[in-house]
Structures are given as structure tokens and as C-alpha cells.
Structure 1
Amino acid sequence: MRALISGASIAGPVTAYWLARGGVDVTVVEHAQALRKTGGHAIDLFRPAMEISERMGVMSRIQQRATGTTILTVNRPWSKRPAHIDYVKLIGVMSDRHVEIMRDDLSEIYYQASRDDADYRFGDRITSISDDGTVSFQNAADERFDIIIGADGLHSGVRRLVFGENVSEQFLGGYLAVVSVPKSLAREGQMAGVYEPRRMAMVYTADHLDDARAVFVFRPEHQLDYDHRDVERQKAQLGAAFAGMGGQVDRWLVELDSTPAFYFDAITQLQMDTWTRGRVTLVGDAGYCPGPAVGGSTSLAVYGAYVLATELRRAARDYAAAFAAYETAMRGPVLSSRALAKVNAKTVVPSSRWGINALVGVARLVSVLPSGLTRSVARLNDRGVRLYETMPLPAEPGTAPA
């Protein structure tokens, strides 16, 4: 069986690893000239993704690259004192196993785990896909594959080619931006910043980073006229959204003119009923992004990649049966992640002082209560904050398709 994967970020390399382990001939095509180093932001791996990474033999490397954030410091203009929150205990409410790592670091770790067993082709992209599996590329000659997997993110080219432009999306009301700033502007082990109604700005770093990352999340009254490819306009929109916040936030925004890495995107949720058509299927954000930064999309992508590989192994050469089983297995987690993301999109950045004070109050309470007690209470809501603890992990795929 020959498989073509589009995308070499998170879902692509994890899918490549597990398919190759099962004896599939895997090719990965990536539009970028090399592994993307976009600066990016810290992402969370929860229990299922942690266990999958452990089965891949990369957990020690992931732990070595953890951000090491232990304290969350929140400043509110109307409060004289900052709130100091135990970040480790706060995340512990959500998952018994968790690590925070920079997205670029995680991508590199997964790539290194899979590169010896898959053919990675950088600097190219898919331009057309035929029903019989013949694929045309921007640079390389046409080739035929048994299956094609789109793992190329929220703005997936494979999805556009196969499902068209009119894919159902829901804007969740917010925007996320990340700016690389000098490391001197942050303290290791601490994420610190300012909360105001409808906007939040934080900065953090890690021991192994040469810089710090300023993170901005905001919820404007009206949706922006926004183009994910127009970086200069994005910078202008970010500056306008945080004008008047003052102090340290103004210092971070100064870096917009010279930052070596910048990320900006709408917090948008894909709402596709199916992510399979013929020989093509989608994995991760390309098929079921619950919303960047609010729905655990990275853990869902790792989980989806593993489930897909497992179902292809079980179904041998019958990719249609494998894809159907994959969609069935993923439907529950995807729907639950969507629901959680819609709640988080509003609660993470409240629209009022009262909402911010309530959010900080709950976080402070978690910081002082025994971890066992807060986790026991959280377990009563396994469709909410403990969602990822409930996702069943299939047995490790270990045999090749016939």
C-alpha cells in the first residue's frame, strides 16, 4: 500500500510514523522548503497524545523540551495586586498527564521519529487528485497512490481540492496572535501579562529558547476583515486591537516591526460532517479543527493520526472500510472537542470585569485546594475540562496491511 500525506507539522509526521510501522510505503509532501520554524506558540499535550508519544519512544525528548511554566501571573488594571496562580495545579485539573511544549519543537521531534521510514519531500505541493489516486504536484511528476491523507492544517490545500471552497466553518469570536520578543522581557517558569474585558496579553519563555513569546487573544465586537496570508495587515489589526493597554504590552507590540516570527489567525472551528471522500481522508486540523488554542486541537490531531493508522492496519487493503471506521471512532471526540471549544472561546477571555474576576477567583481556588480534591470534582464533568482523559486509546498497530 502506498500512502501520500500532505503536511509535515504535527498530524502528518505522527500518521507517517504509524503507517510506516505497519508496513505502508509512506511519502510526505510539504510546501515549505524545510520544517516550518514560524515561532508559534506553546501547545498542550494531554493524556492520549502523551501515551501515543510514549509508544513512539519520544516522550523523554518531549519532556526535555517542555516550557517549564509553573506560575501564571495575571494583572488587572482595576486591581492593585497581581494574581499568582499555580499553573501546574491548574492544568492538573484538566488532565492527569500533561506537558506544555512549543509547537515547532514538537513538530521537529515527530519528524525525526518518522523521517527514516518515510520519504519526505519539501518544497512541493499537491495540485490535483484524481479518483484513481493519481496525484499531480507543483514540481514533481505525477504519481499514483492508494490513499491520500490531508494533514495540512486549518487552511488545508487537500481539503480545498477534494471538498471545495464551501466547507462549513464557524468563527468562535476571537483571534490569536503570537509575536517573538526579546527573552529579557519574560521570566523562565512564569507566564505573565494583562487581562482586560475582551482581550488578554501574556509573555513567557523557556530555558532552551533564544527568545520569548508574547501571546495575544482578543474578541472584538465585530468580525475582522481578515486575510490569513496578509501579514502586514494582521500586524496592523493586532496593534489596533491592543492600543491603549499600556505598559509592558506596548513594549511587546513595538517588536511587531522587527519580530523574526509572527503568527495570527482567527479562532475558527471546522464543522464538516465527513472528512473522507474516495481515496482521500483528512486528519487533524485539516478535517476537524475545534478552534486554535481553545479545543485541544494538537492532542486531537495526534489522537486522530493514531486512530487512522490503527484502522488502516485492521482493515488491511480495504481503505474504504478503514476510513469509515476512522470516522466512526473519531466522531465522538470531535463533537465533544467542538462543544468544549465553544465554551472555552468565551470563558478564556471574558467580556466583562466580573467575568475576569470570576475566572481569576476560580484559578486561585484551584491553586490553594489539594490537587486530589480539585481533580475529583473535575472528574464529574468528563465531557468538559476532563474530556481528553476519557478518549479510548486503541491497541498499538503492529502488523502491515495485507
Structure 2
Amino acid sequence: MTSGIASTGWTRVLPGMTPRRVLVSGAGVAGPALSYWLGVHGWSTTVVERSAELRDAGQNIDVRGAGREVLRRMGLEDAVRAAGTGELGTQFVGDNGEVIASFDAGENDTDGATAELEILRGELGRLLHERTRDTTEYVFGDEVTGLDEHADGVTATFRQGAPRTFDLVVVAEGVTSRTRSLVFPEADIRSLGLLVAYLTVPRTAADTDWWRIHQASQGRAVTLRPDNVGTIRATLSLLTDVRGIEDLDRPAQVHVLRRTFADAGWEVPRVLDALDDAPLYVDAVGQVRLPSWHRGRVVLLGDAAHCPSPITGMGTSLALVGAYVLAGELAGTADHEQALAAYETRMRPYVERAQQLPPGAPGLVHPRTRTGVRALRAAVGVAGSAPAKRLGSLLGAASFASPPAEAIDLPHYPVPVSA
């Protein structure tokens, strides 16, 4: 277990006041982002992470709209751009790799299936950690095992560390959050009937800097995406009603993937060959729905509260915006119930918009028949044609698959003057 510096590092607390203490469970994106903003407002934050060290793995993510504005206010936009994957845009490819349609990366805060700011999840986590490690206590290799709320706060028990008491606990974990289940056992994870295997494969001379998508019928799709470290991020996705594949051990998962994608064509053989050695994560894609994101002094943030699913492209932006809003509302009042209610009131319409799936998703890009594949390719071929793109530009239409990333007005929360 390692820990960062156990100090707020800020001098913005008024004389005679004790900084309010917050425990954040999860050191991905939402947790460190919240730690940054709480630090700005003079709060003392401890982030506990179950992994033994900062996770540097993960696939491509994008930051759009209000999420990008939050990065600007953190002074991180340029650093994120510099650490980007360099993805040029999105291409649909045929059985032999021929390009059926191309959609360039967005040129503003919002547009495009490929956003202007594309970065590996681990890279964004690293940047957020670097920005907060001197002002936040980080505890790696431990996890919350119990939460006991009382008049003075919440006492958290840990798998390894001694119990500690905090004014507030924030659960900033993933879809299947263990800590969330301690307080919100009723969380509804709605399956979208899509299984996705994520892995990293060696880059070859045939690879490009485009996000390439290939449909193989029978509800299967394969993607290859560039990164900034010289490898390729691959996915194998499958429409299926079978549950529990994500819980199998690795050999069983590899067996299922090889049998399922053996005849999928294109670049699939090299992806399957990499299954023996490549880091592999298999996920049953779903959305998290809850009628409330807080209970007493415990509040949910990011995917633990409202995962929209990777299909929407909005998870990272929601995490960044939610962290900003939660910290700002908490800083504005000594009444935590009032602050948490205000956080939900401001965020829920944005989340509800973000959780609306694109028309026909996920089935549209996972046709079950060859006829369906041909129909999809014909449709994207038309949408990607020069006349269609010109018409879309004239009508002011958003680019292909642009999510509602700007559907919230970000407030400017007052920041205390340094003492």
C-alpha cells in the first residue's frame, strides 16, 4: 500500500475553520477530479483505491462539451490534447478492409464520433493524479468494507487500514461498485444486451490512425483504434442474451471469444492471436439507474451513480462535470443535504439526456444478418458521401453520432480568496 501526501496543500480555509474531510472511493477520473475541486474550495480529501497502484490501462475515451470546459477551468485542456491518441476520425470498413465511409474527427468541443480530444483512460487518470497528488491523500491497495453514519459524520472501515471518520463519503467507482452496494443495494444496472472484450494488440504496418469499425453479422463487430504509445486498442463486441460471460475466468472467456469470432474475417485473426498474452477486460455493457444519488452523508459520482454506457460517449464528460458541480455545491453551504440535493437537481437533466442511446443502438451497428450488414454499409456510405456532408453543414446538423455534451449550463462557483 502506498499513499500520497496527507495534506490539503491549500490555504483558502478561513482562520479558525477546520477543513471538512471527504473520503472518495475510486481513483479513476471522477474521484481525482472531485479531489481537485474540493481542494480549490479548501476541503481535505482522501482518495482510496482498491488497485495497488494507479491504473494506466484502458481504452480510448473522449471529452466533450461541458466536460471539456471543466478541463479548461482546471488548466488541463492543453495537457490532455498533448497526451491524445491522434485519432483522425471514424471509418467503417468492409470484409477486406476497404473503406466504406469516413467521418473526420470533430473540430470543436462536441462534434463527431471521434472527438477533438481523444485520450486513453489511463492517460487522463495520470494527468488528474499528477495535478492532485500533492494536495490529496492517496491510499492505494485498500478498499472500503463498511460505512457507519452517525451524528459526527461517517466512520469508514477498510480491508487493511484502521477505521476513520469523515464528514462525507463519495463513491466514485464503476458500474458494479462494491462500495455503492453498502448503501444503495437497490442500484439498477440495466443490461443493453451487448458484450464487449477490450484488449491491446501490437501495431502493424497495415494499421492507421483511424478508428476502424467492421461488422461481421450475427451481432458481431470489431474495432481497431490508435493510441499514443505505439499499440492498437481493439474491441470484440457481440449482441447476446447470454449472461455471466464477463464473470468467467480468463481461459473460459478466451475460449468463448475464439469460437464466436473465428470466422469474423478482416483483422480478427490477429486480435484472436493476441488473446493469450494481451491485457483483457470483458464487460457486459449496461446503464446505471437510481432515483437518488445520495443517502445521508454518502453520495455517488460518475459511473457509480449514472453510467450512460460506452455507447453514448458521455461517461467521461459526465464524470468531470459531476465532480465540478458536486464540489461547487458542497462549498456553497454548510448543509450537506441541501448541497447534495442541488447537485442532483443540476446534474439529472444532463444525465438523462446523456443516457439516451443513439437511434437503433446497440443493434444498429451489430447487424445479425448479412442483409443487415449490407444495409448498414449502404446507409453509412450515403451519410459519409461528400454531398451528404455538405448538406449537413448547410443545415447546421451535428456530425455523425454527436452526443448531447453541451446540454448543461455550467455555473461559476465562487472560489475563496487565499489567506
Corresponding residue to 2:287 among 269, 290, 301:
269
State the match for 1:128 in structure 2. Answer: 146
Question: Counterpart of 1:83?
Answer: 100
> How much has 1:343 moved relative to structure 2?
4.7
Shift of 1:254: 0.6
1:138 aligns with 2:159: yes
Preserved CA contact (<8 Å) 2:86 2:118: yes
Counterpart of 2:48 in structure 1: which amino acid? V
| Aligned CA distance change for structure 1 residues 266 and 367 (closer, same or farther; 3 Å) | farther
Indicate yes or no: 2:341 matched with 1:324.
yes
In the alignment, structure 1 segments of 5+ residues that lack a partner are: none
Q: Structure 1 residues 365 and 89, CA, compared in 2 at 3 Å: closer, same or farther?
A: farther
The answer (yes or no) to whether the contact 1:45–1:99 under 8 Å persists in 2 is yes
- How many residues are matched? 390
Equivalent runs, 1:1-400 vs 2, <5 Å: 1-38=20-57, 40-77=58-95, 81-89=98-106, 93-94=111-112, 98-132=116-150, 133-164=154-185, 166-184=186-204, 187-197=207-217, 198-206=219-227, 208-220=228-240, 222-228=241-247, 230-259=249-278, 261-315=279-333, 317-340=334-357, 343-351=360-368, 352-365=372-385, 369-370=389-390, 373=393, 376-378=396-398, 385-399=402-416
Q: Give the direction of change, closer, same or farther, for the CA distance of 1:84–1:120 in structure 2 (3 Å limit).
A: same
For 2:234, what is the secondary structure of its paired residue?
strand
How far apart are the structure 2 equivalents of 1:63 and 1:375? 29
Q: Is the 8 A contact 1:85 1:367 kept in 2?
A: no
Per mean C-alpha deviation after superposition, the further-off stretch among 231-240 and 293-302 is 231-240
**CA 1:367 to 1:170, structure 2 compared with 1: closer, same or farther past 3 Å?**
farther
Cα distance in 2 for partners of 1:5, 1:366 equals 48
Q: Taking structure 1 as reference, are residues 232 and 119 closer, same or farther at Cα in structure 2, changes over 3 Å only? A: same
Q: Which has the higher helix share?
A: 1
Deviations 1:65-85 (A, max 9, x none): 1111114333233x8943240
Distance 1:229 1:119 in 2: 35
If the length of structure 2 is used for normalisation, what is the TM-score?
0.85
1:112 Cα deviation (Å)?
0.9
Separation (CA, whole Å) in 2 of partners of 1:322 and 1:366 = 49
Distance 1:262 1:81, change over 3 A: closer
Structure 1 runs (4+) deviating above 4 angstroms are 89-92, 94-97
Q: Is the alpha carbon distance of 1:342 and 1:275 closer, same or farther for their aligned partners in structure 2, counting shifts above 3 Å?
A: farther
Give, in angstroms, the shift of residue 228 of structure 1: 3.9
Secondary structure of the 1:340 match is: coil
Q: Return the TM-score normalized by structure 1.
A: 0.89
Greater radius of gyration (CA)? 2
Tell me the amino acid that sits aligned with residue 327 of structure 1. Answer: E
The SS at the match of 1:27 is strand
Residues 86 and 168 of structure 1: CA distance in aligned 2, closer, same or farther (over 3 Å) = closer
CA contact (8 A) 1:178 1:216 kept: yes
- Partners of 1:342 and 1:231 in 2: how far apart? 33
Q: Which amino acid aligns with 2:165?
A: R
Deviation (angstroms), 1:225: 2.8
CA deviation vs aligned residue, 1:221-258 (integer Å, no higher than 9, x gap): x2333344733333333223312113421111110001
**Cα offset, 1:349, TM superposition:** 3.0
1:348 positional shift: 3.7
Distance 1:292 1:399, change over 3 A: same
Contiguous gaps of at least 5 residues in structure 2: 1-19
Relative to structure 1, the CA distance from residue 81 to residue 94 in structure 2 (aligned partners, 3 Å threshold; closer, same or farther) is closer
User: Considering only aligned residues, what root-mean-square deviation do their CA atoms show, in Å?
Assistant: 2.7
Residue 392 of structure 2 contacts residue 398 of structure 2 at CA under 8 Å; is this kept in 1?
Answer: no
| CA distance in structure 1 between the partners assigned to 2:387 and 2:406 by the alignment | 21
